[in-house]
Amino acid sequence: IEDKTVVITGGAGFIGSHIADALVSENDVRVLDDCSTGYQENVPEGAELVSGDVRDEDVVSAAIEDADLVFHEAAEVSVQRSVEQPKRSNEVNVGGTLNVLEAARDADARVVLASSCAIYGVPDSVPLSETERLGPRSPYGVDKAAIDSYAEVYHEQYGLETVALRYFNAYGPRQTAGEYSGVISIFLDQARRGEPITVEGEGDQTRDFIHVSDVVRANLAAATTDAVGESYNVGTGEETSVLTLAETVKRAADSDSDIVHVEGREGDIPRSVADLSKSRESLGYEPTVSLEEGLRTLVDE
Ligand code: UD1
């Protein structure tokens, strides 16, 4: 990808800033971010930072007006927080995406957007293929199911080139550790401080943990594929329980932390792992970083 005008919403955040890194040298990269959870320091040199909220239609359309390609990563990413504030989650995640899709329609830009495996809810079986019935269990999952469908409908109705990437559980550098952050950043932070590693529930719930560099690879493939108007799983195909994760993080960080059990989450997804057949076939996507390896490099940072 070169000589394009690329807009990355959420480009000061975790995944968006890594996409910006990958594109900034060969393209005009503009980041749209309100820095509510992202950081200006994450935006690579050479990229333009436009401060703004995706809920603001005017800001979004001005940022995307001359774009060739949009990566829409801005979102309220916490499932927990969506349970506490479902309306806010919808406004950011669904309302924000509609602003992006409308602006992209006007600009005739391709949109690659961040969907989620949370849309599958409690699956009948794993691994999860894209044809699995959707059954979101949280307001966040409903938001992502909606935008995943909007992406397809914008392609069918308006001919917009859209690709929805159903991210499994992404981790890596710049994922901040906070109450509402991803489990790996929380566990690593606890392990480093020697504080108890807090496994919620039994820890037998599973996830497919994918390193952000593989997420970026999937995005770059989605930006050039002919197979648009489609949704693709972006994971590793490896299923890891949260308890195993806790032990693996503890080992990788060479930590003395205890592993403790705290109350589980209401409506938590019990099992999740990606079937990658479709992504391999149509995107040529192949994960490259194992969990052990990804954790090791994260610890060394
Ligand atoms: C995460 C993402 C979401 C993405 C989804 C795909 C975040 C904040 N959320 O949601 O954007 O779409 O993956 O599946 O990154 N847990 C503990 N102890 C803790 C924290 C979490 O045991 O201290 C457990 C949770 O109960 C859950 C699992 O770890 O079972 C994963 O939690 P979390 O990292 O919040 O991810 P998801 O809810 O899967």
Q: Which residue has the tokens 């820890």?
A: 203
Which atom of ligand 1 lies closest to the CA of 75? 11
Tell which residue, 78, 143, 63, has the closest CA to residue 111: 63
Q: How far is the CA of 183 from the centre of ligand 1 (A)?
A: 5
Cα–ligand 1 centroid distance for 73 (angstroms): 17
Tell me the CA–centroid distance for residue 221 and ligand 1, in Å.
26
**Active-site hit among 120, 140, 150, 171:** 140
Provide the terminal-to-terminal Cα distance of the chain, rounded to the nearest Å: 29
Ligand 1, atom 32, residue with closest C-alpha: 183
Identify the residue whose C-alpha is closest to ligand 1 atom 27: 268
CA 139–ligand 1 middle distance (angstroms)? 14
Task: Give the Cα separation of 118 and 124 in Å (integer).
Answer: 14
Q: Is 79 in the pocket of ligand 1 (CB under 6 A)?
A: yes
Give the tens place of pLDDT for each residue, 74-112. 999 999 999 999 999 999 999 999 999 999 999 999 999
The ipTM, to two decimals, is 0.98
Give the tens place of pLDDT for each residue, 210-236.
999 999 999 999 999 999 999 999 999
Span 152-189, pLDDT tens digits: 999 999 999 999 999 999 999 999 988 889 999 999 99
Which of left, alpha, beta for 265 (phi over 0: left; psi -120 to 50: alpha)? beta
pTM: 0.98
Find out whether the beta carbon of 169 lies less than 6 Å from any atom of ligand 1: yes
Is 140 noted as a catalytic residue in this protein? yes
Supply the pLDDT for residue 170: 98
Q: What is the number of helices (H) and of strands (E) in the chain?
A: 11, 13
Task: For the chain, list the domains and their CATH numbers.
Answer: 5-170+210-235+274-283 (3.40.50.720), 183-206+239-271+291-300 (3.90.25.10)
Instruction: Indicate whether residue 189 lines ligand 1 (CB < 6 A).
Output: no
pLDDT score, position 301: 81
266 has pLDDT over 90: no
Span from the CA of 241 to the centroid of ligand 1 (angstroms) = 12
What is the rounded distance in angstroms from the CA atom of residue 54 to the CA atom of residue 101? Answer: 11
Q: Does ligand 1 lie within 6 Å of residue 118's CB atom?
A: yes
3-47 tens-digit pLDDT: 999 999 999 999 999 999 999 999 999 999 999 999 999 999 999
Quote the CA–CA distance of 107 and 82 in Å, as a whole number. Answer: 31
Q: Is the CB of 186 under 6 A from ligand 1?
A: yes
Query: Is the shortest distance between the CB of 265 and ligand 1 below 6 Å?
Result: yes
Decide: 207 in ligand 1 pocket, CB within 6 A.
yes
